[in-house]
Amino acid sequence: MRTIGGLVLVLLAWGAAAAPAMPPHLGPAGQDEYREFVEAPDHRAFAIAPGGAWAWVSGEPTATEAEEKALAICQGQTAQSCVSYAIDDRTVFDAAKWSTLWRPYSTAAQAKRAAVGRERGQRMHDLAFTDARGKPTRLSALRGKVVVLHFWGAWCPPCRREMPDLQKVQQAMAQRAGIAFVVLQAREKFEVSKQWAGKQGIALPLADSGSTGEEDASFRLAGGGRIKDREIANRFPTTYVIDRHGIVVFSHVGPIHDWSQYESFLRDIADRKGE
């Protein structure tokens, strides 16, 4: 019995050791790919970027070539900076550098010259909305603060699943005066969103986009115009992080996998100001 028990313990220990540590920000599909990467032949490399972009190659002539190819493929999929996570059997990930990859942040002078749009480095459209206190305002009124701009709807299953996790990171950042969360509903009246959130115990500071219902496929602009919601959010949920000068530093379409992994990024941008 002791021998059998010992064998079981050995097998359990071996199984635990065999499970690879997962790279940050990867969703389920990316995690599956990383497990496949671990078993692939040398020379191989796995690259990642903030937001969950990834790429890997194997069977390359050298480790250097594998790394270069993985980084190039990854960079072709994202505006974020890709870095190496693993090369052959070595984990080369620099955890200290990871949360700085939204840098460099814009200066005020750079922001003035930036084009208006939703891409990284562009100035986000100046949306008009009613804030969580019931005050009509605009996105540009939050200049000087880092803004987490989140679009969702109670009609959207992925949005609903993400809300508790989003609430946790908002609460973790609540004591930082330099960060604001703007959570705007799409294609439904504010009363519908607010009622659903209340029933679920969601205490996020919800703002009102002004949507009149499911047929209203636009957001309001501060100048009095409108912009089609799909010009900002290809699908829901969609999230942007906007710096103190109104410039997009990060965007993510779809639910974010594990919001807690973004706390260090938010702290980094909140602690640094552009000139």
238 close to 158: Cβ distance less than 8 angstroms: no
Residue 144 backbone zone (phi > 0: left; psi -120 to 50: alpha; other: beta): left
User: Model confidence at 177, in pLDDT bands (50, 70, 90)?
Assistant: confident
- pLDDT tens column, 113-157: 999 999 999 999 999 999 999 999 999 999 999 999 999 999 999
**What interhelical angle do 263-270 and 157-173 show, nearest 10?**
50
179 close to 145: Cβ distance less than 8 angstroms: yes
Assess whether pLDDT exceeds 90 at residue 19.
no
> What's the CA gap between 194 and 192, in Å, rounded?
6
Assess whether pLDDT exceeds 70 at residue 222.
yes
When pLDDT is averaged across residues 104-119 and rounded to a whole number, the result is 96
User: Average pLDDT of the chain?
Assistant: 93
Tell me the CATH number of domain 108-270, given options 3.40.109.10, 3.40.50.1970, 3.40.30.10, 3.90.550.10: 3.40.30.10
Assess whether pLDDT exceeds 70 at residue 205.
yes
**pTM reported for the whole predicted model:** 0.90
Assess whether pLDDT exceeds 90 at residue 175.
no
- The CATH 3.40.30.10 portion of the chain extends over 108-270
